[in-house]
């Protein structure tokens, strides 16, 4: 009888030990996965920051290839060298037995993982500023509307046909902003904000013609284009039938973006100017309307020109309302320091691909994914970041293309 009890005891102890060892392996495996994710986040951070700098596309393309390789190769290396190689932590080994050189690597990966958590929390807890009082959306399926495939032979055209791609499902967003300094006489001013058209031949001319036609039907008072017009110079011919068709009583104003900088930017600038669009890059322009003045300014920093200098800083007269067009949202803090009332930006495309819960991952910004799209308010400056109409990569997952009609209301 005693012998039998002892056997049962030994059996239950070894089962418990086996269970602990099994649990340890699971936990160790989980730690290795978290370290791999943290490592990927470090490379994403690197790629986001390098794409925010004035670096030409061929070099950026190489950095992207290195990044993709490292993101895929590191987990394999980690699991083989740390997890499986005898006596790896997945085979009953101890973390303390690992070489000293793994410690700084693990520390960096842990920091990367924590950084990702911060981004995810920021995405989940993003709140629209109270100054945006209304928001409506209309989803326009351009493909169904026109009954065409709308895919040309441009770069990366194979991406356009991927399942669940939302590239042809455009969101026409209508937002209302209440702005303290907007003169009462301008209450209800309608501003059409277009950004990132990226003419490349991948999406056909008809796609952009249709969007411009819809945008014009909203009868804006003022039209703003915040950069990235052309990725292939032969598409410059499309301007007449697209942006050339837009009209607004208070004018059409533009700046260029980093993709235009990679092309013949001066030729693009001249073509738009010839169609009556007004270039506000690196300068300020006074717009008089209903007895009040608006200062319209533009910046293509860090790719071209310099930040505009306000007339008041040169001893000149200020204006009732200051509007800045900036290709990248990275100029937001500078705009706040200058006292701009409204900033209209694009460039980040909303991240283009958004993961459920996690949100956007890639965004060419020094702030990472913080300002990928939406409305932001800081000090006394409101910024609207458009997700843009297109991109050199015709891929949108959980991140529809966008153009916006912004109604400005006076807070007085
Ligand atoms: Fe862009």
Q: Please spell the DSSP secondary structure of 230-274, one letter per residue.
A: BSSGGGGGGGGGTGGG---TT-EEEE--HHHHTS-HHHHHHHHHH
pLDDT at 263 over 80: yes
Ligand 1 midpoint to CA 231 (Å): 9
- pLDDT of 15 over the 80 cut: no
Ligand 1 centroid to Cα of residue 198, in Å, is 7
Ligand 1: distance of its center to the CA of 298 in Å?
Answer: 16
Check whether 18 has a pLDDT greater than 80. Answer: no
What per-residue confidence (pLDDT) applies to 239? 97
pLDDT mean over 344-361: 96
- Of the candidates 368, 362, 393, which has an alpha carbon nearest to the alpha carbon of residue 71? 362
Q: Work out the average pLDDT over 231-258.
A: 97
Please give the distance, rounded to the nearest whole angstrom, from the Cα atom of residue 196 to the centre of ligand 1: 5
| Class at the top of the CATH hierarchy for domain 131-410 | alpha beta
Distance 308 CA to ligand 1 centre (A): 22
Distance of CA 23 to the CA centre of its chain: 40
351 CA distance to ligand 1 centroid (A)? 10
Q: By the 8 A CB rule, do 388 and 349 touch?
A: yes
pLDDT for 9 = 54
Assess contact for 138 and 171: CB atoms under 8 A.
yes
Q: What is the mean pLDDT of the chain?
A: 92
pLDDT score of 412:
72
Predicted confidence at residue 7, as pLDDT, reads: 47
Q: Is pLDDT above 70 for 5?
A: no
Residue range(s) in the chain whose domain bears CATH number 3.60.21.10: 131-410
| Rounded Cα distance, 17 and 144, in Å | 62
Ligand 1 geometric centre to CA of 386 (Å): 10
pLDDT tens for residues 130-162? 999 999 999 999 999 999 999 999 999 999 999
């Amino acid at each position: 009888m005693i012998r039998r009890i002892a056997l049962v005891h030994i059996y239950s102890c070894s089962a418990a030990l086996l269970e602990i060892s099994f649990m340890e392996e699971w936990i160790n495996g989980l730690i290795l996965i978290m370290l791999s994710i943290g490592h990927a986040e470090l490379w994403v951070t690197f790629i986001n920051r390098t794409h925010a700098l004035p670096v030409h596309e061929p070099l950026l393309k190489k950095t992207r290839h290195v990044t993709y390789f490292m993101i895929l190769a590191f987990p394999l290396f980690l699991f083989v060298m740390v997890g499986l190689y005898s006596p790896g932590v997945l085979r009953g080994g101890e973390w303390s037995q690992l070489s000293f050189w793994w410690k700084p690597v693990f520390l960096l990966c842990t920091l990367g993982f924590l950084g990702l958590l911060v981004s995810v929390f920021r995405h989940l807890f993003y709140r629209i500023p109270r100054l945006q009082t209304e928001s409506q959306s209309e989803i326009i399926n351009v493909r169904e509307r026109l009954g065409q495939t709308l895919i040309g032979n441009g770069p990366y055209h194979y991406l356009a046909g991927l399942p669940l791609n939302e590239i042809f499902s455009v969101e026409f967003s209508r937002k209302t902003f209440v702005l303290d300094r907007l003169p009462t006489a301008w209450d209800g001013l309608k501003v059409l904000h277009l950004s990132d058209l990226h003419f490349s031949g991948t999406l056909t001319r008809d796609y952009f013609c249709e969007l411009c036609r819809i945008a014009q039907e909203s009868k804006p008072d003022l039209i703003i284009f915040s950069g990235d017009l052309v990725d292939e110079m032969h598409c410059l011919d499309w301007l007449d039938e697209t942006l050339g068709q837009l009209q607004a009583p208070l004018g059409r104003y533009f700046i260029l973006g980093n993709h235009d900088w990679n092309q013949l930017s001066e030729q693009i600038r001249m073509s738009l100017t010839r169609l009556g669009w007004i270039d506000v890059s690196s300068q300020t322009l006074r717009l008089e309307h209903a007895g009040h003045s608006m200062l319209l300014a533009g910046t293509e920093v860090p790719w071209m020109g310099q930040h505009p200098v306000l007339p008041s800083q040169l001893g000149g007269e200020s204006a009732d309302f200051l509007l800045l067009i900036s290709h990248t949202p990275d100029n937001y803090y500078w705009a706040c320091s200058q006292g701009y009332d409204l900033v209209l930006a694009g460039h980040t495309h909303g991240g283009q691909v958004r993961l459920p819960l996690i949100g956007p991952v890639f965004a060419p910004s020094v702030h990472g994914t913080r300002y990928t799209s939406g409305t932001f308010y800081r000090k006394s400056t409101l910024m609207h970041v458009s997700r843009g109409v297109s991109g050199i990569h015709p891929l949108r997952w959980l991140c529809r293309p966008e153009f916006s009609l912004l109604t400005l209301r006076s807070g007085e």
